[in-house]
A and B are shown apart, each in its own frame.
Chain A
Amino acid sequence: MAIDRTIYREISVTPHLCAVAMALVACIAAASWGGVYVEHHGHSVTGMTNQVVWGLPHVFAVFLIVAASGALNVASMSSVFDKMAYKPLSRLSGVLAISLLVGGLAVLVLDLGRPDRLIVQMTHFNFMSIFTWNILLYTGFLAVVAIYLWVQMDRNVHPKWTKPAGVLAFVWRLALTTGTGSIFGWLVARPGYDAAIMAPLFIAMSLALGLAVYILVLQVLCLLGNCQLGQKLVARMTRLLALFVAIVLYFTAVQHLTNLYAAEHAGFEAFILRDGGIYTTLFWGVQVALGGLVPIALVWVRKTPVTAGLSAGVSLLVILGGMAQIYVIIIGGQAYSMELFPGFEVESSFFDGMIASYKPSLPEISLGLGGVALSLLIVGVGARVLRILPTNLSDQNLAAKG
């Protein structure tokens, strides 16, 4: 493997960079307030109930965790699949993966009923639980990506180690997303969750969401840190993003078609696809149309070249669609009541047989956004103190690498 001649620099501090950092710190402060407020008053001040027990914080957390494994793909592209044009981008990819995961985990922990008992979780493991496996996969991911970064960045480490480290990180990220999908896929009791396709669906989502976040972060960092970013490179990534989005749509179609085929899940499918109100709107309007078909049309069908603005717009749409998809999976899956007595109309004080309602509260929104802000702040600080961004990502400079 050729030795990388790209020059990496810490981004310079500009007034814009400082302003963005301040805004992120403010978001994190608001999230901390949200976490403390909920812990003090209990979850009664949230929109969560005994029917919808996982709310908006879980949507944000799962989004960030799924995107984390996807963000690493840019690095995998160069060191696992030998696409050299992506090589200069791979350090940022590793740092972004770590920061997204940390942001997601922070949200998850702060939304626990007893976040003060984190140490209990660290000392008591039930290995039957997919949650336990996820905790190990998450911590392992942080370590594996850190090693991968170190191998890439330390001049004393021979470049021949980049590939094995990259392969390890790639395999680990596949396992991690499989684990995240399985949190839902293994819940046999719920018609909205119980499906083996959850794991590959989550992997496809991670490819799309991780790349969308990567494109946006790269654009913003280059803008704030005065680094040249070639248009061809951005266009290439955006076209790849559209391909990933198509794969997500494909798995989504398979997910719902197989469910429709199984008579026992027909009720749930009718709920999501036709009668679910907000969930139906989010599914067709935001997930499928805005987050799926529109980006594909903008990138592939349009004849005009992909500009920086279009690329950012497409990435934002994909992120929006991804949030909607996770919302529909997590909240929609709980809102639809489980059928305890087939063939009967049921009624109880515990909302049996009814569609549960859920309205996210302010602390939940601020907690979720705080997780995003934390991730972005870590990336920014990473780019400021570590040499992860190349000084020149212009097309001419990258052309030589193929």
Chain B
Amino acid sequence: MTFRAGKDPVSPSKSSRRDFLRSGAALASMTLAPGVTLMAFGGSEAQGAVDAGKRWGLLIDASKCPSDCSACVTACKDENGWTGHGDPERDVQWIRKVTLKDKSTGRKTSLPVMCQHCESPPCVDVCPTGASFKRADGIVLVDKHICIGCRYCMVACPFSARSFVHEPVTNQKPHAPRGIGTVESCTLCVHRVDAGGIPACVEACNAQGHGAMVFGDLLDADSEISKRLASFPSQALRPDLDLNPGIRYAEI
């Protein structure tokens, strides 16, 4: 039997130990076909790479994000293998472009919204099985092996960042396991980050020459993201909820 504490206000090192001890299911992996292993996030492989001394985050500069560009969305789809079925209300979306129009001035802005990787994630608090969890480095994930598809996390998420898999999935990527009847959201491309890379959306945005997204370690004062956050105004979405998200926005 596994007991989990949802919220983890304690030190990163403690939380990493807890994550490590978390569950037999965390070690569970399932062989789907020769060479394809469905490794749940939170499994030993993912945990092995977690650096509790880091907190990964993103800074999104809305002024650099053109409304007609959706390179980040396309890149995320390709990277993680989520596609639509022509049913917009039920198709999953790990990341979406939102267009804003200031009600008083009429000024328009555009920006991507995805899982905000909160320090105190409501989805983790409410999840009955502990499938929704936060890694020691701040990345919020769903362990696909123990998600029962109750969707409480979707109701709890203030950002509508999670999607429910409404139909059978095909062609999944080995590094991004998916399953019908479970919930999923942006993983901050944890597989890339663990290998020393950056999320696919950030890479695509840079490749377009927009550079609207900066990825990095919020705990490292010398990182590009920390320096920018220190010198320019930025904001979290729904600051009233005090969730301290890892995703920050500038120039909204």
Contact = CB atoms under 8 A, between A and B. Distances in A.
Contact of A123 (B2, B165, B168, B180): B2
Nearest to A124: B129
B241 interface: yes
Contacts of A261: none
B155 A350 contact: no
Contacts of B76: none
Interface string B2-15: 11111100000000
Contact of B102 (A129, A130, A343): A343
Nearest to B4: A126
B33 to A, nearest CB: 21
Contacts of B237: 340-341
Interface residues of A, number: 53
Contact of A129 (B6, B91, B167): B6
Interface in A101-143: 112-115, 117-118, 120-121, 123-132, 135
Nearest to A353: B98
Contacts of B6: 126-129
A272 B182 CA distance: 31
Interface string B190-213: 000000000000000000000000
Given A42-B168, A128-B6, A352 B90 contact: no
A171 interface: no
A39 B104 CA distance: 47
A349 B179 CA distance: 23
Interface in B72-126: 85, 87-93, 96-104, 113, 122, 124-126
A44 B166 contact: yes
**Interface hub of B1, B148, B182 (most chain A Cβ within 10 A):** B148
B98 A125 contact: no
Contacts of B87: 44
A113 B182 contact: yes
B216 interface: no
Given A117-B148, A343-B104, A50 B154 contact: yes
Interface of A is mostly: loop
Interface in A185-225: 186-190, 193
B76 to A, nearest CB: 13
Interface in A25-70: 39, 41-44, 48-51, 53-54
Contact of B100 (A112, A129, A338, A344): A344
A154 interface: no
Interface of B is mostly: loop
B238 interface: yes
A250 interface: no
Nearest to A343: B103
B148 A43 contact: no
A348 interface: yes
**Interface hub of B7, B125, B166, B252 (most chain A Cβ within 10 A):** B166
Contact of A341 (B93, B162, B183, B252): B252
Contacts of B53: none
A53 B166 CA distance: 10
Interface residues of B, number: 67
A149 B99 CA distance: 60
Contacts of B146: 117, 120, 124
Interface in B140-172: 145-152, 154-160, 162-168
B160 A345 contact: no
B166 A135 contact: no
Given A113-B180, A131-B126, A188 B241 contact: yes
B128 A129 contact: yes
A187 to B, nearest CB: 6
B104 to A, nearest CB: 7
B75 to A, nearest CB: 16
B128 A41 contact: no
Given A130-B126, A351-B89, A120 B148 contact: yes
B128 A334 contact: no
A82 to B, nearest CB: 39
A346 interface: yes
Contact of A120 (B129, B154, B241): B129
Nearest to A187: B156
Nearest to B241: A188
Nearest to A351: B89
Nearest to B111: A341
A125 B2 contact: yes
A349 B104 contact: no
A38 to B, nearest CB: 9
A346 B167 contact: no
Interface in B49-64: none
- The list of the 8 closest CB pairs from A to B, nearest first, reads A113-B149, A128-B6, A113-B181, A189-B158, A131-B128, A49-B89, A44-B166, A126-B130
12 contacts: A41-B167, A50-B92, A50-B160, A51-B160, A117-B146, A128-B124, A129-B125, A129-B128, A187-B155, A338-B158, A341-B237, A345-B100
